[in-house]
Structure 1
Amino acid sequence: MSRLKVLYGFHAVTARLRHDASTVEDVYYDPTRRDRRMQDFL
């Protein structure tokens, strides 16, 4: 049985993607956010 864990925030999500991206199933984000940090993330 797999466990679902919700991560939020740039640091937490970026760290997980760098450490073990295969464990990330979906990434949800605010499409109205257009600042530099979000653009770099996407």
Structure 2
Amino acid sequence: ELRRQLHLRLGLPMDRPLLRVANALAFVVEADLFGDKKLRK
């Protein structure tokens, strides 16, 4: 259901899975020594 909604929102064809979990990027937020949060890929 989520894939179908994303395909519709992005205008992608429904006949093949263009969005896959394996293609996802993970972004991690971690705190440095001063407690400031920073984004790490």
- Normalising by the smaller structure, the TM-score range is under 0.3
More relative contact order in 1 or in 2 (CA 8 Å, sep 6+)? 1
* Structure-2-length-normalised TM-score: 0.26
Higher strand share: 2
Structure of larger gyration radius: 2
Higher helix share: 1
